[in-house]
Amino acid sequence: MSKIAVVILNWNGKELLEDYLPFVTKFSEGATIYVADNASSDASITFVEQNYPTVKIIKNVENGGFAKGYNDALKQVDADIFCLLNSDVEVTPNWLVPIASAFKNLTKAAIIQPKILDLKQKDYFEYAGAAGGFIDQLGYPFCRGRIFQVLEKDTGQYNDTREIFWATGACLFIKKSVFQELQGFDEDYFAHQEEVDLCWRAQNRGYKVYYVGTSHVFHLGGSTLSNMNPKKTYLNFRNSLFSITKNLPRKKAFPIIFLRLLLDFVAAVRFVFQFRLMHCIAILHAHLSFYRHFRSMYKKREKANFILKYYATKSIVWSHFVDHVKKFNILVKD
Does residue 74 have a pLDDT over 60?
yes
> What's the CA gap between 20 and 54, in Å, rounded?
16
Judged against a pLDDT cut of 90, whether residue 225 lies above it is answered with no
pTM value is 0.95
pLDDT score at 227:
62
> Which position has the higher pLDDT, 225 or 214?
214
| Terminal C-alpha separation, the chain | 32
1 has pLDDT over 70? no
Q: Which of 188-192, 210-214, 330-334 has the lowest mean pLDDT?
A: 330-334
Q: pLDDT-derived band of residue 304, with 50, 70 and 90 as boundaries?
A: low
Question: What confidence score (pLDDT) does residue 307 get?
Answer: 87
Q: What is the mean pLDDT of residues 182-196?
A: 95
Instruction: Kindly indicate the confidence band of residue 223, based on its pLDDT and cuts at 50, 70 and 90.
Output: low
Say which residue, 123 or 223, is predicted with more confidence: 123
Position 334 pLDDT exceeds 80: no
Highest mean pLDDT among 22-31, 243-252, 309-318: 22-31
Q: Please tell me the predicted confidence (pLDDT) of residue 54.
A: 96
The percentage of the chain sitting over the pLDDT mark of 90, rounded to a whole number, equals 90
Q: What is the mean pLDDT of the chain?
A: 94
pLDDT in tens, 25-51: 999 999 999 999 999 999 999 999 999
| Confidence bin at 270 (pLDDT 50/70/90) | very high
Given this model, what pLDDT does residue 308 score? Answer: 81
pLDDT band at 222 (very low <50, low <70, confident <90, very high): low
d(CA 177, CA 132) in angstroms, rounded, equals 22
| Tens of pLDDT, residues 105-124 | 999 999 999 999 999 999 99
Q: What is the pLDDT of residue 191?
A: 86
Higher pLDDT, 153 or 225: 153
